[in-house]
Structure 1
């Protein structure tokens, strides 16, 4: 016990030193024939691991063998000794009652004759901010092939895995549904997954009922890909930090990533090796670690519970010989298909760190952070999903879609919404975040970038019900709803009543667009009328001649409110000079809300100052040499918010701003059938952006010189781009070396020029699919 105390004291000191530096549309209604099963000796204890095994004989190798698999909570599947699924299953649930299941084609792994299926399951058995516990472990397997149906039932062999134990205190913080993993190799079952291997202690499985049955109820097909899996890899570098009784191997990862640590050691029996990352204390709380108790001899072990960080630490007692350490990276299966580069190294680094932070906050859901909470806070998700459209490939869209269905699937009887969901130990509504989630930058932004109409149809009524909870004051503004936690942002000087009005206006804008899409004209008219009323009342009640302020608000002028008034269309252009002055003076927004400040500055055509402010406010975290990700607050630890993690993708809104405004790429109709390329270069000499849209690759590259502006655009086949040259006093524009505009006039041989309001600061042209070069000169 004394050694354990020393171990944690020394490890924590080392860590501190290091850190200083509705139902889903994919539901399958085909009746299930299989039974939920579990091992007979299982008592549904927290963090229970179970082994299941089935030997089957097939008359022929099947051409296709789609298995439907569900587990409470996670599973690993071997077929004939080959690991086929690494961490299957998703945290519960699509609704507070229901459960996800996976589909896997096993045909490539099956053979004519004898086959062995082996499954290891991990039952979390406790609540968290990202998981609703059912109260019972369980496993379900159904594979219907002409050769032989394979169904989970009492004929499967099962047992609780005796080597997995709960690790002692300090326990992980209450937000996490996962437990520390402790594996005592002296109790290991050996190669029980391999065909022909002995299965000591296995007995007939216990049947728990055929779906849909409580506590898992209706099963919903997994709406997103399985994890990308790197296989076991070598660390970038490893160094040994000596200690009195144990040394610590500090292993560098290529970036902040999700990993499962592996070791190859030789040791006497009963020696404790501890595995953790530099994020063990992320956000100022105890997060997750793993422990391994050796058996005598040489042995290998991989801890299956994923961790994240920049470094992995192995605390190894002196009497253990280390032959090797490795890691496996897993994560959401999407490609880094978007890209950005410019003449400004800071902007390049901000964009890359934003994408890295985005990716490390994606897994079962979008997360606020991968260490302290792993929770689907929807304020974070709005920023994250917006970044994903520019940074990642379309496979990423499924995570946003899943989150939308979950948000409405968890809607309460009184029509209120809350997040994070799914959750077992949280149920508080944050009104501002909920307005953001269902609004223009939440649900509607998904449709705008994907063209996927079905979620709008399925979820609209839930959005409508929530918006009806927000009545009007007698003066026409939005009545203040306190909710369960009246959170508007981290930080100081939050003028919440004004802030909620701006967010409600954006929510109405999204709902109006949904109603128009769904031919609900009466609803659309009502939303439009209410938006007009709010705009008039907002300016009458809150505009004091120099800024927007609630009459009862006593703090410093809130930069968030000024920015969102612009973004929501509540502030007309005649107020822009005064609002710009405020945004030059006030800096209260957290990195989450700073995205809207930067967007407002671009909308007001103040891109030069926007880029200056971006560098000033994000400079510390972007330039920090020890982290590849962005922080929750403007600093680390005490300088951060809510404990201050170093991997919060809500801070990545600058990525969206650089892609959408600096390089100017944005959809004009849902699904990018028509899109714009309207760069606002400011002082940037050159920049290039690639977007992997649902219609194909879009690329914009500009070179910005004193007397010349060049813009190269790649437009996917079958789409139309509205391309704009910044109206900076040019006298002539050439398109693919032919003059198409001169002295303020379009020449007859040019394509039809656009007259859209979005082009009022650009000379705009409509072009079809192809590669286009615009050259503007003075």
Structure 2
């Protein structure tokens, strides 16, 4: 059995030794699904006994009589911050609730479908609530630990939170742990559970709660500090259930003071489970290899044993490739397992080719994407869990090619949150929801509202209604930016003038390229919404800006701002191309620049590689992709991609090894190599325009909103392509012009020459093309 002693820079020694309120914009920008005041009958309730200021756990119970088991049953429930729901002793929601908030003031609520789950006669609801009580980069604390809930059967209110409920602080959960504490970015605290103080079976219907005090009411729905209640816009988590670890541990095992190393199948969001036999008072610690992911301390769990045989699952998720259990001497380990949970989406997209490197890159990008999805898209699941919008722009692009369409709801949630948090001066900032951050990163904000952000969401989904909701706030934000006398944009410092990790950043040039892409996104939104006059005005502004940009920044063979003295900034050259600021007569010079300059982080590298594909240099794009990402892709133990090009000191910003922005290669392989991309909003029409470069075989599936698009391509002396076109869509197929005599489904077919391709339009169905 693979047990070994591990030392986390002195941390294990410690363990063993101690075994600015933005303006409310809801009136001008109505919240979806909000339930204000009188539409709820329930009260906010909490425990009578005093609670700790942070990291409080409260147990609630209520029994009620039900006479009708045929009607639909819905439970509406809101908490700050998380809850676990039992009905008649059965766990029906594992970690409900979303981190606050949809606006700086308001709170999300869940609607739980309990149809068919009630019994005739007496039923019992038991709810465990975890109140963070801390601000974080992904959570705005209300400052009050509370619950509100009401159960509806059809149009009849069955029960609601009031003084008839029972509530106590759960005595087994300690509010404080020994250091180290999770870093300031996380609202979650370490979880310490003392089984000697547990309330066995408190969630079961026959539990005697006579001695429990009644709950205390502390407000009506719609009251401060929770304010408007906004319906959860994303699914409940997917629960994969308990699973054994990958390294075939054998039990029982008597610890001699061991750290047990348990291998997870991949970097995942998990809650650890144990079953042991022990005397009271032994402290078992659970943490992952990502406990210091990104150099900062993250969450850990501790369990203090009761007497005899006992089982425990720590409810706050942590992530990593390995789970470690620090087991004191004399504790007999009977079983160790884990529960993986995550965003409820399916991995429906795929990409495979004849070079295993790109297959690994695609799969590692997918794993990185999934472990950075939950309440919100996040930069990393360990150090921050924060919705940085530079990261989300890339993540959302990947999701369109890799995941089912439930993933679109998480992007939409992020879009609405970003604009609902817009400040009175029209600036926007991320990450949010947040209680301890208010700095605008101008470049990331331009990316969010721009062509690759909001517009790309619409282009892949066809969701015009969301564009309609956010257009005016976007317009207001764009109005914050001013143009200088030379026609280029005036640099705004914001809260943090961050362009990218790494060296040789030409920040004025970066901001100008991103500003143009934001203008492009706004212009396209105006056009899609039928705002013809605004669209034409913006188009003219873009034309003028492009002339000024090239006059100011083009230096014969590369782009550079006047006062910048560093090496040529590769990221800015790529952004100029993908923005549409660089015309084809500059492509060759930019291509030569990108052969020698490599300064961007993995975040900005995506745009450089995309520029190479757009300029027609597919071979070099693939070569550069491999050169840049090879170290992390070929790492034998890590299943996700990194924040920087190396680990720790070799990386950037603390160097997490599961960072969302490194997965842009997934999008590029599906969109450019396989060639699949919508040509109308929501894939009403799309193209298959492959750029295989030196690859010989490619297979790809894209789970579009219209259905699965499948492509198989083989190229050598002959060219073969098989495609699946979903119902009620039309595809334009591009075949390299070096191939002649094109056959479609066994018959020679006419094709139109289009640059270096022949193009053919096809209707829905299965199609096979051959050319020599």
- Between the aligned partners of 2:13 and 2:52, the Cα distance in structure 1 is 36
- Between the aligned partners of 1:646 and 1:275, the Cα distance in structure 2 is 20
> SS of the counterpart of 2:340?
strand
1:27 to 12, 34, 42: 34
The question of 1:684 aligning with 2:695 is answered: yes
> 1:198-597 residue pairs with structure 2 within 5 A?
198-199=208-209, 202-237=212-247, 246-597=257-608
Measured after TM superposition, the shift of residue 107 of structure 1 is 2.1
- The one-character-per-residue Cα deviations of 1:329-379 (angstroms, maximum 9, x if unpaired) are 000000000011100100000000000000000000000000000000000
Measured after TM superposition, the shift of residue 23 of structure 1 is 4.7
CA RMSD of aligned residues (A): 1.8
Cross-structure match for 2:90: 82
The question of 1:196 aligning with 2:191 is answered: no
Measured after TM superposition, the shift of residue 12 of structure 1 is 5.4
- Between the aligned partners of 2:35 and 2:401, the Cα distance in structure 1 is 32
Measured after TM superposition, the shift of residue 210 of structure 1 is 1.5
Conservation of the 8 A alpha-carbon contact between 2:291 and 2:298:
yes
The question of 1:71 aligning with 2:79 is answered: yes
- Between the aligned partners of 1:62 and 1:279, the Cα distance in structure 2 is 48
> 1:557-706 residue pairs with structure 2 within 5 A?
557-705=568-716
Measured after TM superposition, the shift of residue 9 of structure 1 is 5.5
1:154 to 155, 159, 163: 163
Measured after TM superposition, the shift of residue 145 of structure 1 is 1.9
- The one-character-per-residue Cα deviations of 1:620-648 (angstroms, maximum 9, x if unpaired) are 00000010000000000000111100000
> SS of the counterpart of 1:107?
coil
- The one-character-per-residue Cα deviations of 1:729-756 (angstroms, maximum 9, x if unpaired) are 2221111111113xxxx4xxxxxx5x8x
Cross-structure match for 2:22: none
The question of 1:42 aligning with 2:50 is answered: yes
User: Residues 244 and 312 from structure 1, CA distance in 2 versus in 1: closer, same or farther, beyond 3 angstroms?
Assistant: closer
- The one-character-per-residue Cα deviations of 1:33-89 (angstroms, maximum 9, x if unpaired) are 011111111335201000110000111214211111101100000000100000000
1:59 to 67, 74, 97: 67
Conservation of the 8 A alpha-carbon contact between 1:439 and 1:507:
yes
Conservation of the 8 A alpha-carbon contact between 1:44 and 1:136:
no
Measured after TM superposition, the shift of residue 245 of structure 1 is 6.0
Conservation of the 8 A alpha-carbon contact between 2:35 and 2:228:
no
Cross-structure match for 1:764: 759
- Between the aligned partners of 1:265 and 1:24, the Cα distance in structure 2 is 48
Conservation of the 8 A alpha-carbon contact between 1:698 and 1:716:
yes
- Between the aligned partners of 1:238 and 1:482, the Cα distance in structure 2 is 54
Measured after TM superposition, the shift of residue 295 of structure 1 is 0.8
- Between the aligned partners of 2:214 and 2:99, the Cα distance in structure 1 is 27
- Between the aligned partners of 1:721 and 1:137, the Cα distance in structure 2 is 54
User: Residues 774 and 623 from structure 1, CA distance in 2 versus in 1: closer, same or farther, beyond 3 angstroms?
Assistant: same
User: Residues 231 and 42 from structure 1, CA distance in 2 versus in 1: closer, same or farther, beyond 3 angstroms?
Assistant: farther
Count of aligned pairs: 750
Query: Which range is displaced more, 41-50 or 424-433?
Result: 41-50
2:149 to 141, 145, 148: 141
> SS of the counterpart of 1:718?
coil
Conservation of the 8 A alpha-carbon contact between 2:172 and 2:197:
yes
The question of 1:170 aligning with 2:180 is answered: yes
Measured after TM superposition, the shift of residue 14 of structure 1 is 13
Measured after TM superposition, the shift of residue 27 of structure 1 is 3.0
Cross-structure match for 2:134: 126
Conservation of the 8 A alpha-carbon contact between 1:181 and 1:303:
yes
- Between the aligned partners of 1:567 and 1:713, the Cα distance in structure 2 is 28
- Between the aligned partners of 1:210 and 1:322, the Cα distance in structure 2 is 47
Measured after TM superposition, the shift of residue 761 of structure 1 is 2.9
Measured after TM superposition, the shift of residue 726 of structure 1 is 1.8
Cross-structure match for 1:750: none
> SS of the counterpart of 1:291?
strand
- Between the aligned partners of 1:8 and 1:161, the Cα distance in structure 2 is 31
- Between the aligned partners of 1:617 and 1:7, the Cα distance in structure 2 is 32
Measured after TM superposition, the shift of residue 522 of structure 1 is 2.1
Conservation of the 8 A alpha-carbon contact between 1:50 and 1:120:
yes
Cross-structure match for 2:112: 104
- Between the aligned partners of 1:515 and 1:761, the Cα distance in structure 2 is 33
Measured after TM superposition, the shift of residue 24 of structure 1 is 4.2
Measured after TM superposition, the shift of residue 601 of structure 1 is 0.1
- Between the aligned partners of 1:243 and 1:437, the Cα distance in structure 2 is 54
> SS of the counterpart of 2:763?
strand
- Between the aligned partners of 2:409 and 2:432, the Cα distance in structure 1 is 16
The question of 1:726 aligning with 2:736 is answered: yes
Measured after TM superposition, the shift of residue 231 of structure 1 is 1.3
TM-score by length of 1: 0.94
Provide structure 1 residue ranges, at least 5 long, that are not aligned to the other structure.
1-5, 16-21, 747-752
> SS of the counterpart of 2:385?
coil
- The one-character-per-residue Cα deviations of 1:270-310 (angstroms, maximum 9, x if unpaired) are 11000000000100111110000011111000000000001
Conservation of the 8 A alpha-carbon contact between 1:143 and 1:150:
yes
TM-score by length of 2: 0.95
Cross-structure match for 1:113: 121
Conservation of the 8 A alpha-carbon contact between 1:266 and 1:323:
yes
User: Residues 430 and 723 from structure 1, CA distance in 2 versus in 1: closer, same or farther, beyond 3 angstroms?
Assistant: same
Cross-structure match for 1:749: none
Provide structure 2 residue ranges, at least 5 long, that are not aligned to the other structure.
1-5, 16-28
